[in-house]
Amino acid sequence: MFVFRILTAILLLCNFKIVNLDKVFFDSHKAGNGFSKDIILKILSKHPNFTKYYLGISLKDPVAIQNVTKHLNDPYQVKVFQESVTKFQDLSNIEMQLNLTFQKIQKHFINYKIPEIYIFSCGLSSDIYCDKNIIVVDLSYFFGKGSKCLPSMPEYMISKYNTRSIVPRIVNNIAMQLSNYNHNDQSLVADMVYYGRIYFFTKHILTPYGYEDIIGYTKKNIQYVKKNRTFIWNYFIKKQLLYNKIKGIKSIFIDETPHTLDFGANSPGKIGRWFGIEIMESFYKKNKGEFSIVEKGGLSIFITNEQLSKCLQKSIIINDLFHKLKYLWYIFEWLTYFKQKNVDLKKIMDIKNMRFIFINSGYTQYM
């Protein structure tokens, strides 16, 4: 029976492939010493969803095709493709992790349709584009310090874009697509819980990863927020910030910044999001497996599994030590995940009212 499960897992994991357009375009450019409109049309016609949803063009629009052809023939763009192909020659590790990720998501969201995933590096938009049809990853953001093709970004952000953060960033974006959210609540605490729930979802899907990987914190950042937790929370209360709706004030605690202005240069940025994680964990801990969703009138059951989580957090160390066995480990982790009773992520993601989570988290009693 166990061998059968292994074989089943392998078959399931073979259904999904990443389309590396960086390689497709670079190889075509190298073979033909440039791109003609015919080559562009031939490539894009094979990937209609990428053309429609990401590029936002029609193949029947000659002006759009001309602009794309001009951009792809730009020497700088060719260098970006070349560096991407050179630095990311093997995407099998990312592909395997995403295969596992989609299997887990479909356990919670049975109607979830796996999107097409493309690699297309241009440095002109965002690191990850995500909608229900496609996900596009721009690897140029992950080229690292010293690259001449690195997109423009603050110095402190470069280290956050490491190869280990690629999969968590993708899953964070998927979580945003699956998250039910009351956009009328513009309070700081609603934003905190919103992001906290995104990271909570990602943590329970990517069990081997820690929150520091998911939110983009260093160990020093984690130590700071844990050491100063009570002081920071009391500051929120004293300044009456939790229900503040002013964007300029909220951005201090939510936005990606080198540090939090109110707490000095040693503090990490987006500190409100970290407290959102703690509120979610507190909500999860306090309710001990069940909670009433007042707004839906339903009951959701979820069972904690701390021992499994602690065990799987060590898997990244095992992967580093036994690189050649990583695929067997991923399959083992996948099988273990489906054998256990896990958090009902769909019920949690369906909660529309972020204040409901905060009020029912009992967060302050854990301070």
What does the pLDDT look like over 127-186, one tens digit per residue? 999 999 999 999 999 999 889 999 989 999 998 999 999 999 999 999 999 988 888 899
Give mean pLDDT, residues 249-256: 96
Distance between CA atoms of residues 270 and 91, nearest Å: 30
Alpha carbon distance 293, 283 (integer Å): 12
Number of structural domains found in the chain: 2
**Residue 20 bridge partners (DSSP):** 119
pLDDT at residue number 327: 52
Instruction: Tell which wins on pLDDT, 294 or 325.
Output: 325
CA distance 38 to 65: 10
Answer whether 0.85 is exceeded by the pTM: no
Q: Is residue 105 part of a domain?
A: yes
Q: What is the mean pLDDT of residues 320-349?
A: 59
**Residue 311, domain member (yes or no):** no
- 79 vs 292, which has greater pLDDT? 79
Q: Which domain-ending residue is among 131, 155, 176?
A: 176
Residues 126 and 255 grouped into a single domain: no
**Residues 243 and 169 grouped into a single domain:** no
- Rounded to whole angstroms, how far apart are CA atoms 130 and 114? 12
In terms of domains, do 245 and 365 share one? yes
Q: What is the rounded CA–CA span in Å between residue 185 and residue 243?
A: 9
In this prediction, residue 223 carries a pLDDT of 95
pLDDT at 251: 96
Model pLDDT, residue 288: 58
Residue 79: predicted pLDDT: 94
Residues 72 and 141 in one domain: yes
- In sign, the C-alpha dihedral spanning 198, 103, 204, 92 is negative
pLDDT score at 183: 84
Cα dihedral across residues 105, 135, 78, 123: positive or negative:
negative
Mean of pLDDT values over 191-216:
92
Residues 121 and 40 in one domain: yes
Residue written as token pair 């193949």: 59
Which pair of tokens denotes residue 249? Answer: 């004030």
**Same-domain check for residues 26 and 112:** yes
63 and 204 fall within a common domain: no
Same domain, 72 and 213: no
Question: In this predicted structure, what is the pLDDT of residue 297?
Answer: 29
Say whether both 37 and 131 belong to one domain: yes
* 94 Cβ contact list (under 8 Å, min separation 6): 18, 166, 167
Q: Which token pair is 111?
A: 């109607």
Check whether residue 166 and residue 208 sit in a common domain.
no
Residue at 332 is within a domain: no
CB 103 within 8 A of CB 12: yes
CA gap 202, 209 in Å, rounded = 9
Whether residue 51 is found in the same domain as residue 110: yes
Does the structure show a pLDDT above 90 at 114? Answer: yes
Give the C-alpha separation, 19 to 36, whole Å: 21
What is the structure's pLDDT at 352? 81
Higher pLDDT pick, 273 / 365: 273
What b-and-e string marks burial along 72-93, b requiring 16 or more CB atoms within 10 Å of the CB? Answer: beeeebbebbebbbeebeebeb
For residue 164, being part of any structural domain is answered with yes
| Shared domain check, 298 and 269 | yes
Average predicted confidence (pLDDT) for the chain: 82
pLDDT in tens, 265-319: 999 999 999 999 999 998 888 775 554 433 332 222 222 333 323 333 443 344 4
Q: Cα separation of 182 and 197, whole Å?
A: 13
∠ Cα 197 320 101 (to 5°) = 35
**Could you tell me which residue, 335 or 263, shows the higher pLDDT?**
263
The residue-averaged pLDDT of 240-269 equals: 95
Which residue in this structure is represented by tokens 């983009």? 216
Q: Give the Å distances, CA to CA, from 282 to 100, 286, 329, 367.
A: 27, 6, 30, 10
Whether 334 is in a domain gets the answer no
Domain range for residue 263? 179-305+341-367
Which pLDDT belongs to residue 348?
Answer: 82
The pLDDT of residue 8: 47
Residue 333's SS3 state is helix
On the question of pLDDT at 20 being above 90, the answer is yes
Q: In this predicted model, what pLDDT tens digit does every residue of 58-70 receive, in sequence order?
A: 999 999 999 999 9
- Has residue 312 been placed in a domain? no
Q: Which of 179, 193, 207 is nearest to 361 (CA)?
A: 193
More confident position, 205 or 13: 205
So what's the pLDDT on residue 295?
31
Minimum mean pLDDT range among 39-48, 60-69, 75-84, 344-353: 344-353
> Residue 130 pairs with which residues in a beta bridge?
135
Q: Which residue has tokens 């110095």?
A: 155
Q: CB–CB of 258/154 below 8 Å? A: yes
